[in-house]
Amino acid sequence: MSHEPPAAHDLTHIAPRDKAEILAEALPYIRKFHGKTIVIKYGGNAMTDPALQQDFAEDVVLLKLVGMNPVVVHGGGPQIEDALAKIGKKGTFIQGMRVTDEETMEVVEWVLAGQVQQDIVGLINVAGGKAVGLTGRDGGLIRARKLRMVDHKDPSVVHDVGQVGEIESIDPSVVKALQDDQFIPVISPLGFGANNENYNINADVVAGKLAEVLKAEKLMMLTNIPGVLDKAGNLLTNLSAREIDELFADGTISGGMLPKIASALEAAKNGVTAVHIIDGRVPHSMLLEILSEQAYGTMIRSH
């Protein structure tokens, strides 16, 4: 396999003056966010397309090199599905949540902490960064308890979805220690309970909570859509927490976007300066969102 940089990154067609302008435009953003923590939720297409994987890794390394502190939290739904299919197991869901029995939990741990996390660590390292993989166990990062899932229709019914957890507390000291030492933490959304039991936690929830606890400047959520759309399908680029509440109330935001936006909203309400929901299918969308004036998704402001 050749190690030549891919042709897509050949910038010879851009005039030197344009290149200088692009770099100059990035400067105020680099200055503004220097030393700040940026939590990135990585999933969806950006995570399964090899060219986009490379773009993502390069973006993370660049952010670190210009003095920001990126922290990656990853999901792995499609990869978990594939692994369960290999052992002949069919995933069952209650209200959108994967029922996680002991056997499923073993597969989830193996896929998230083994395969997916190590792939991301490798990609970032090859792109010139120093990534370190963590799960919620490392340094006592994520304490969790069993999720009590109340039925949507009948609140007196509580569904048992197995080893699915909700976050009890996050101790960010291991993440801070790595950040201060030039490393890029890559976190699998697995937590542990009071009796050392394992829990699978929604990655959007982990990213949101971690951003709050680390007092992050930004939470970037890479998705498979352009951002939050209005009822006519137009992109809403800039929303306040109050406007998001209204979109929930009138049903504009529904389905699979609910947990994602709910996590984003909670982070915005609890001290994260800005939450960006961006299209992971656009090459380098994260870099463009942070270092340019162009909006590449929906920004949720804290007020």
Domain ranges of the chain: 33-301
Q: Say whether pLDDT at 211 is over 70.
A: yes
Q: What digits encode the pLDDT tens for the residues 42-57?
A: 987 678 888 999 999 9
Which has the higher per-residue pLDDT, 4 or 16?
A: 16
Q: Cα separation of 276 and 232, whole Å?
A: 21
Percent of the chain topping pLDDT 90: 52
For range 238-254, the mean pLDDT: 80
Extract the annotated binding site for substrate. Answer: 76-77, 98, 200
The binding site consists of 76-77, 98, 200
Mean pLDDT for the chain overall: 88
Q: pLDDT, tens digit, for every residue of 19-45?
A: 788 888 889 999 999 999 999 999 876
- 33-301 in CATH: which number? 3.40.1160.10
Flag whether pLDDT at 268 surpasses 70. Answer: yes
Q: Residue 243: pLDDT above 60?
A: yes
Confidence of residue 59 (pLDDT cuts 50, 70, 90): very high
2, pLDDT greater than 50: no
Looking at residue 37, what is its pLDDT? 96
Neighbouring C-beta atoms of residue 153, cutoff 10 Å: 7
145 versus 299: the higher-pLDDT residue is: 145
Cα–Cα dist 290/43, whole Å? 18
pLDDT band with cut points at 50, 70 and 90 for residue 11: low
- Over residues 274-285, mean pLDDT: 89
Please check the confidence at residue 251 and state whether its pLDDT lies above 50.
yes
